[in-house]
Amino acid sequence: MRPKAPSPLFIYLIILSILLFFYYSSLLSKPSSSNSTPCNLFNGRWVLDDTHHQPLYNDSCPFHRNSWNCIRNQRPHMDRINSWKWVPRQCDLPRIDPFRFLSLMRNRNVGFVGDSLNENFIVSFLCVLRVADFGAKKWKRKGAWRGAYFPKYNVTVAYHRAVLLARYNQNSALSDHDGSKETYRVDVDIPAADWSNISDFYDVLVFNTGHWWSYDKFPKETPLVFYRAGKPINPPLGMFDGLKVVIENMVSYIQKEIPSKTLKFWRLQSPRHFYGGEWNQNGSCLFDKPLEEHQLDSWFDPSNNGVNREARQINHLILEALRGTDIQVLDVTQLSEFRADAHPAIWLGKKDAVAIWGQDCMHWCLPGVPDTWADILSELICNSFETG
Ligand SMILES: *[C@@H]1O[C@H](CO)[C@@H](O)[C@H](O)[C@H]1NC(C)=O
Ligand SMILES: *[C@@H]1O[C@H](CO)[C@@H](O)[C@H](O)[C@H]1NC(C)=O
Ligand SMILES: *[C@@H]1O[C@H](CO)[C@@H](O)[C@H](O)[C@H]1NC(C)=O
Ligand SMILES: *[C@@H]1O[C@H](CO)[C@@H](O)[C@H](O)[C@H]1NC(C)=O
């Protein structure tokens, strides 16, 4: 026997109570998706996800830099390197949608200022964005080192190379009395010319410095000498104190000279993964999977005095200097610390490169980890412009 059909009134009451339930639960469970408490995208883990979509670009992107083009340089298992997906603890990080991003940015411009790790970042960003406008053209004006103009959207994205951010030059006039010693003069309160003309041009700026502040780049025999207001700072500062003073001065220059409507980010350090020695001591990064979370402190905590300890040390200085400013922190450090497997290593595209320079365990293969940086940056920019 068939059960008796429920009366229309009964169905109506059920539907009404379901609607009321959803209405009240939506009132109760608010701020989860509200803009006042955005999810922390910097904290999470990498999950191997073979269904993870292919990278948005390949080795034929015209914005590649040869030594990071790991597909062309035949690094094995590039598909595996790009099968790891970054999953923040409390939410999902969507992949950048280049069409949506460029539409939102129409008639606006994005600038990167800093060292080659910001160049590594922008190469990824340009290759991703090009998917939405294959007419993208190389662009190098206003002191830019590389960049692209996206004609469909009237958007420019460019990188200004300024490795110390502050102006520096070789200074042979200032020598020891034996007359032979060369130094580098750093004007802590003057931005490098490469980015001193850009304050009105960009709507978004991403700064960094840090990877050149080492005795590899500026050996003790040819040290950095710091100047303020045109005079040598006395007593002279060591490299690390100099970095602190430069960051403080560049932050206050940015606060003063860059319009407040410009969205400003400071990218924290990209960690290196030299294992078994420095870059010039056969340090190596031939890993085939990311590090485990419990390994990170032994690699990177400064108290362990490892080869790659400087990233966290420098971050500490940067965070101090940014406190109380409107510059947002783009903290790519932790997510990148895991990825010992994703550097160009020995696949540099040139026969003698490894013999001369050692492995590259500092920059990143592209496509690769900086694509995730681009996902995060785009998410933060979209949140700001859509709500602001
Ligand atoms: C690389 O990407 C381009 C589009 O940018 C596409 O036309 C080409 O087929 C791709 N090559 C391979 C080998 O997938
Ligand atoms: C393109 O964008 C710039 C701002 O970056 C704006 O000054 C210019 O008018 C725009 N051009 C067109 C054709 O909309
Ligand atoms: C910056 O602007 C000045 C004055 O307009 C110009 O002379 C100089 O060449 C520009 N510098 C760069 C790096 O574009
Ligand atoms: C690096 O490896 C080469 C070749 O194995 C060796 O000759 C050289 O001594 C090593 N250098 C260091 C600093 O360990």
Is there a domain that residue 8 lies in?
no
The pLDDT of residue 229 is 97
What are the pLDDT digits (tens) for 45-77? 999 988 767 899 999 999 999 999 999 999 999
Between 24 and 54, the more confident residue is: 54
Q: What is the pLDDT of residue 12?
A: 61
* CB burial of residue 118 (10 Å; 0-12, 13-18, 19+): buried
Question: CA neighbours within 13 Å on the CB side: how many for 301?
Answer: 8
DSSP state of 5: P
Q: Does the C-beta of 154 come closer than 6 Å to ligand 2?
A: yes
Residue 146 lies in a domain: yes
- 19 belongs to a structural domain: no
| Entry pTM | 0.88
Nearest to 110 by CA among 129, 86, 91: 129
As a whole-number percent, the residues of the chain with pLDDT over 70 amount to: 87
Q: Which residues pair with 226 in a beta bridge?
A: 186
Instruction: State how many domains the chain has.
Output: 1
Domain that includes residue 278, residue range: 46-165+200-208+260-387
Whether 302 has a pLDDT exceeding 90, the answer reads yes
The pLDDT value recorded for residue 32 is 40
Q: Is the pLDDT of residue 314 over 80?
A: yes
Query: For ligand 3, is residue 193 a contact (CB within 6 Å)?
Result: yes
What is the arithmetic mean of pLDDT over 17-46? 61
Q: Among 104, 105, 107, which is best to mutate for testing ligand 2, by the most ligand atoms less than 8 A from CB?
A: 107
Q: Half-sphere exposure of residue 382, counting CA atoms within 13 Å on the CB side?
A: 19
**pLDDT of 117 higher than 50:** yes
The band of 28, judged by pLDDT with boundaries at 50, 70 and 90, is: very low
Task: Let me know if residue 89 belongs to a domain.
Answer: yes
Q: What is the pLDDT of residues 150-184, one digit of tens each?
A: 999 999 999 999 999 999 998 765 555 555 568 89
> Using 50, 70 and 90 to split pLDDT, how confident is the model at 371?
very high
Give residue 1's pLDDT.
44
Closest to 54 measured CA to CA, from 17, 95, 12: 95
Atom of ligand 4 nearest to the CA of 281: 13
90 Cβ inside 6 Å of ligand 3: no
d(CA 73, CA 21): 58
Confidence band of 217 (pLDDT split at 50, 70, 90): confident
Ligand closest to 144 (CA) is: 3
- Please, which residues have CB within 8 angstroms of residue 101's CB and are 6 or more apart in sequence? 129, 132, 378, 381, 382
Model confidence at 38: pLDDT above 80: no
What backbone torsions phi and psi does residue 57 show, to the nearest 5 degrees? -145, 170
